[in-house]
Amino acid sequence: MIQFKAPLQDINFLINDVFDFQTHYKDIPGGEEASPEMVDAIIGEAARFSEEVLSPLYQVGDKEGCKFEDGKVTTPPGFKEAYQQYMEGGWQGMTSPVEYGGQGLPQSLGLIKSELIGTANWVWGMYPGLSQGAMNTIYLHGTEEQKQTYLVPLTEGRWTGTMCLTEPQCGTDLGQVKTKAEPNGDGSYSITGTKIFISSGEHDFTDNIVHIVLARLPGAPEGTRGISLFIVPKLKVEADGSATEANGVTCGSIEHKMGIHGSSTCVMNFDGATGYLIGPENKGLHCMFTFMNTARLGTSIQGIGAAELSYQGALPYAKERRSMRALTGKKSPDKVADALIVHPDVRRMLLTQKAIAEGGRAMLYYAAMLSDKMLAAHMEGDMKAYDAWDDKLGFLTPILKAGMTELGYEAANHGVQVFGGHGYIQEWGMEQIIRDTQIAKLYEGTTGVQALDLLGRKILLGRMKSFDAFREVVNEFIKTHKNTAEMKPMIRTLKRAMLGWRINTFRIALKAKKNRDMVGSASVDYLMYSAYIVMAYFWAKMADAAHTSIKKGENVDFCTAKIQTAEFYYDRILPRTRGHASMMMKDPETLMQMEEDHFAFL
């Protein structure tokens, strides 16, 4: 069993040395409360809760799973009690607005908390994570009455939330949504339909669950232009805010899945349930993207957490397990064999895990800072600035969601490889990480869907606006550090990568004008190509900060390891871009030429 240990030194290095969160916090509302002492206390307590309460429940959730009987879901032993501690600690409302019962702290602190929780026990963390998305949606698009009614109990953790999008006949293509919303004549609506794959749709943590539901009004336009968004509580809510009788929302069943057994994935039936419109009519998908983007950024944590947790399992095993002798001669002559960690291929796998976990964490924290800026602009009523920050975050979101979940899954596989046959055995906990992480590449939009969003929507339809904004950030870093002696080799490589990224993007755009299938055929390779280059920038930033600390005589061993991991990344992982660049430039002919009937001859 893996006992998670919070990577506090790495977290502190990022927030203090790489990104200077304290300066960042001076420019955002609520940041004045995030003093160094407050930040340390919050991260330390989140680490303790994750290590001592959640980590021991990770394998319990996998073995016991959720139980379903008569429309009720019972979560694994210890899950409900852990949530009670979480609620009593005020964790759910840490970043929520003060006026609705929250503490008003920066969103970035909440994301660090979520990373710790998600790495220790991703499955448990899904329950409060879904609530956070519901809260964000209501806060940004709800009326004041809706905020008072639903945000306060959600912030306190007394209620939880979900998002209900998918239906039996449609997944990603939400234009096929059939759930109906009929006006009741009193401002409310009667919601009827079935939703599937609803995470946390039913559980025993709280009595009331607030569902954010996509549905169609009578006479609504077809497709995505005719979808509206509704708040549908499990229990009816009275004028005084109390939750009373059932509201026509029932759980029909739960799914039996490859992994995340402790998470209730539900079929939810809405039978004339009372719901309330949130946001404008027929603009539901636009409002829902608030929830979806929150979830997508959160899902990237699962990839980063998988890499971190698998690394934490694989590293001590590689140091302790003895097998064969080093090719360069015995390293432990007094032992029966040398430790696994002396073998180059084992080191390749460990360093790949380390590079993915730490590089992904840096990308996530940068995105968290953008989220802080975006919310600050919204609070100040500066919608032009809000849209600008939203564009910047939106560009990185598919790269983080898809790129980090793909790489996190790779890292989890490396962990099993380090263990060899023992990695395939359940008691070690390594194979569970693979099973649990597989879903991260699927929900909130598969890798292919995220890739189309990046290349098709953000890059081509957006006329490279968000791409150029990020490129300016990287180019400024390159310009500033091009004459720094210890950074020159890395800077030269990064500069070439950035230039190639821009040229290749233009080349794909030109090819797509002649054949639209080019977008679909190139998109996944383009996304991974982009992810490696983005991570290269953040590894360069970390290497630079590490060099600075070493010059000051601070954290020398830690910073030396950081620089060496950056060098490994540039030497062994960044070159993957060459293969992706070659493949994404291929014409789609060999993908599309085969007749459908020729795929199989049975």
Q: Which amino acid is at 32?
A: E
The one catalytic residue in 88, 222, 444, 567 is: 444
Contact 332, 338 (CB under 8 A): yes
Distance CA 114, CA 92 (A): 10
Tokens of 262: 């402790």
| Residue linked to tokens 């519901």 | 134
Length of the chain, in residues? 602
User: Is-contact 90 98, C-beta < 8 A?
Assistant: no
Contact 242, 152 (CB under 8 A): no
Catalytic residue at 144?
Answer: no
Rounded to whole angstroms, the Cα distance separating 118 from 304 reads 9
Q: Is residue 43 within 8 Å of 8, Cβ to Cβ?
A: yes
**CA 146 and chain centroid, separation:** 27
- Per DSSP, helices labelled H in 321-458 are 344-379, 383-398, 404-419, 430-438, 447-452
Give the phi and the psi of residue 26 in degrees, each rounded to 5: -65, -20
Query: What's the longest Cα–Cα distance across the chain?
Result: 84
Of the candidates 568, 490, 573, the residue with the CA atom closest to the CA atom of residue 528: 573
Task: Tell me the two tokens of residue 421.
Answer: 């046959």
Q: Which is nearest to 343 in space by CA: 325, 356, 358?
A: 325
Q: Are 273 and 232 in contact (CB under 8 A)?
A: yes
Q: Are 360 and 408 in contact (CB under 8 A)?
A: yes
Nearest to 527 by CA among 441, 434, 601: 441
CA-based nearest residue to 530, from 601, 596, 470, 461: 470
Beta bridge partners of 190: 182, 274
Provide the strand spans (E) within 479-524. none
d(CA 221, CA 46): 46
* C-beta separation of 108 from 238 below 8 A: no
What is the helix (H) or strand (E) element at residue 245, kind and residue range?
strand 243-246
Q: How far is CA 565 from CA 532, 537, 539, in A?
A: 15, 14, 8
**50, two tokens:** 């994750």
What residues form DSSP beta bridges with 253?
267
User: DSSP string spanning 248-307?
Assistant: SEEEEEE---SS-TTS-EEEEEEEEEEEEE-SSTT-HHHHHHHHHHHHHHHHHHHHHHHH
Strands 209-215 and 160-164: parallel
Would you say the C-alpha torsion 258, 261, 267, 270 has a positive or negative sign?
A: negative
Tell me the DSSP string of 221-250: PSGGGG-EEEEEESEEE-TTS-EEEE-SEE
Q: How many helices (H) and strands (E) does the chain have?
A: 20, 11
Residues involved in catalysis: 444
